[in-house]
Amino acid sequence: MSTREEAREAMTQQRQQEENLQQSMLQRTEAELADSGDSEIQQTARERMTEQRQQEEHLQQSMLSRSAAEVGLPTQTDPSVQTQ
């Protein structure tokens, strides 16, 4: 084998080793992101569910207040209503 062919083969092997190393690093990074991402996703989902529930409760309270006002019933926000 000539020097040129040996150099070419050595460069090919080095490139393959670098590609394998990059692939391994990529796989590790993806695994770490998946692990940390799951807990972050769950936390975000919990926060959004809480926000959605609060918005629904607020909407329901607003609808009840409006309905009561239309019918002429006192509401909890009505200052003329005294609660005990």
- Owning domain of residue 36: 1-64
Report the domain count for the chain: 1
Instruction: Give the end-to-end CA distance of the chain in Å, rounded to a whole number.
Output: 100
Does the residue 53 lie in any domain? yes
Is residue 26, in this structure, part of any structural domain at all?
yes
> Does residue 2 form part of some domain?
yes
* pLDDT band for position 16 (cuts 50, 70, 90): very high
Is residue 81, in this structure, part of any structural domain at all?
no
Residue 12: per-residue pLDDT: 92
Does 69 map to a domain?
A: no
Confidence of residue 43 (pLDDT cuts 50, 70, 90): confident
Residue 75 lies in a domain: no
Assigned domain for 38 exists = yes
Residue 13 Cα to chain centre, angstroms: 41
Residue 83 resides in a domain: no
